[in-house]
Structure 1
Amino acid sequence: MASLAKFLVVTLLAVSLLPSPATAQLSANFYSTSCPNLLTIVRNAMTQAVNNEARMAASILRLFFHDCFVNGCDASILLDDTATLTGEKNAGPNRNSARGFQVIDTIKTRVDAACNATVSCADILALAARDGVVLVPKHLSLHRDKQLGGQTWTVPLGRRDARTASQSAANSQIPGPSSSLATLVNMFSNKGLSARDMTVLSGAHTIGQARCTTFRQRIYNDTNINAAFATTRRRNCPSTGGDGNLAPIDSTPARFDNSYYRDLVARRGLFHSDQELFNGGSQDAAVTGYSNNGASFLRDFAAAMVRLGNLSPLTGRNGEVRRNCRRIN
């Protein structure tokens, strides 16, 4: 009986450690033999890119999000238009705003020089997004705890690249800057992500900048906005013209911290969709919590990024490993 009980305990433990079906073929060690220097190559290239332009960390993070929300994390957003394929780069949410493609090209070239035709563009984008966040300074008070979850996370790997893209899905499935809370919750729910995931992933807006055309409606028409903040943003975003003029999305755009949430509590959200998270609705408590606890935000963001990266990956014999991230093989 004792041996049987021991067998059952070991069996149950093994079952409990099995990955969920969505991540069954993804593993942090997927390239440990076939491309052992992968993580170093990606980190070095992202370090160079972020040192050249700090904004690039936000651009790559946004690229990853917009990729994953259209048919899963499959690098479809990287495909250029051709005579036979209409890509996602010119969809409304991406046209004139999605950027960082050349950084992914550079990383792919360096990775293939070390281990040719081995690592997918989808995995490179997932790693680059993580590294961008890691490379951006955090709030100084957090540096004392080097083991603090949220400053980094382990990226499951093994994705393959799509042979198709969907401009129509990019137009309809990526949340926009004028979205209501109900729309945001529904769009994330359609991807298997919770309202809490939506709120913490929106914290990616703590870095980067936005074009005037994406927040003009808010600073001229919304009423739930700090008046001084609206006046400041109007100086660089006229009611007509200046569509490409840039403004920081939160008050500390060069730091990955919880200032985004503190700004929402102060009615200083740049996008209408941002302020919807703190506007008397279901996410007010979560926003308040993150505004008071930066460490909690970083931990939860890391976990949510893993869930985002696990959206419908192509694995096994599905898809391909592209030789050029901009076109199918």
Structure 2
Amino acid sequence: MEHVATTAGLFPIPDAQRGRLVDLTGRGKGALIDGDESADVAAAYDAARERLVAAQREAGLDRVVEGQARWDDMLAHPLCVHENVRAGDVVRYYDNNNFYREPVVTGPLTEDGDLAADLSAAARLTDSLQAVVPGPYSLTDLARDEQYGSSAAFLDGLADFLAGEVDAFPDAVDTVLVLEPSLVTSPPDDDAHVRVRDALAAVNAATDADVVVHTYWGALGEKLHAHLLDTDVAALGYDLVSAHEECVYLVQEYGTADSVALGVVDGQNTRVEAPETVADRLSWFRESVPVSDFETVYATPNTELFYLPVSAFEDKLGALAAGVERVEVAE
């Protein structure tokens, strides 16, 4: 069994690059107005990417993400920069004090290579690259449809769009982490479970890389969890910070994929976990489920990390890597 220290991406912008973006645009966040950046703004984001990759390597993470510094609209970003999407009103991002521009889909969602371009740039900085993408269901929750005409058709269109994006990823991508918090916060009705399963299966089929579907801010419903096990993804994610008992129950009752992603560091709390805490959470999960000989255990913060100050973000990376190392040494 392999333990992999990694993250769910969407990092805070490093202070130097944030200051540069403020100088260039008058804002540190929201520098992307319509997806077209000036050369100076693009250079600031390139520098941010280099710093974020370096921070992960310095911390000792096993799988490195691009950092998503350009994702001013968080998970909605791939839509907000698409030519057939209008960036609408500023609305609350889930139930917290962060906001994004609501994407309004006005035309067909065709692959545009925005994510692949960022990943190609990151591939020059690391040989252990992990992609981060929003899940199709979460995008239906964050966006507004003026093109497809029904929730089912909208979900299918988003799945096809994401599959096209993923298919264009560089070969250097080892893992694709699909973030699906809306499956917990705004779960689909029972009669939509199969469509959600098929949408995720379409994204999974678009790549030879290992696909990990990660949810957070709670645990999946039992029926939905069972349906997701039919997607053939490499791993499902479980939030051991917000819902450790509920997540363990799901695995005890229904099993899980051959690999798991475990959210063992709080992505929204500035308190930095001790490496012992990270190791204990990983060990506790394995001791609590009936089959614990997984192919891979991805150890990750439970959520995105842009909520954190840069210093806390970097400290949590180090704690995560050190905690995984403790588990590996103990075994």
Q: TM-score, normalised by structure 2?
A: 0.27
User: Which protein is richer in strand relative to its size?
Assistant: 2
Name which one, 1 or 2, has greater alpha-carbon Rg: 1
User: Which protein is richer in helix relative to its size?
Assistant: 1
